[in-house]
Amino acid sequence: MINVTHIADHAVGIGANGSCRHRHIVLDPSAKTIKCDDCGAYLEPFETLMNLKRAIDRTMEGIKEERHKLLELREQNRHLLAARQAEKAWQSRTTVPVCPHCHEPIFADDGFGSARMGREMAKLKRERRQEKG
């Protein structure tokens, strides 16, 4: 006998008592039967397989939603990741971060982050620099 746990929310049973949700099932390969371990009802194989498919589909949908949330959080925290990377380079004693555009080194005492520019102005400035060269 093979014990399968929590594969479906609902299954159709033969002689089931109606209140059992058949969440714990046992597969018997020799008798080719599926039995609820909770109520003892024999379950219809096709319905059990369909419930398994629905459970997998729900799980996959949940994984997709969590992945989407993770990607959104990663995008929201991109600036924190950049700051951590710069901090890690400064702490290494052998490296310093460099500007990704001009490749000039940036030292911690350069006042990194103390000067600011509006986001829209920065985008325009970057576009103009790209057009020139």
Output the pLDDT for position 62.
96
- Calculate the average pLDDT of the chain: 83
- Give the tens place of pLDDT for each residue, 57-98: 999 999 999 999 999 988 888 888 888 888 898 898 899 898
- What is the distance between the alpha carbons of residues 132 and 12, in angstroms, rounded to a whole number? 70
Indicate whether this model's pTM tops 0.85.
no
β pairing state of 33-36 and 24-28: antiparallel
Contact status, residue 27 vs residue 48, Cβ threshold 8 Å: no
Percentage above 90 pLDDT, the chain: 34
Output the pLDDT for position 61.
96
Output the pLDDT for position 60.
96
Output the pLDDT for position 1.
56
Contact status, residue 90 vs residue 108, Cβ threshold 8 Å: yes
Confidence of residue 8 (pLDDT cuts 50, 70, 90): very low
- Give the tens place of pLDDT for each residue, 27-66: 999 999 999 999 999 999 999 999 889 999 999 999 999 9
- What is the distance between the alpha carbons of residues 25 and 6, in angstroms, rounded to a whole number? 8
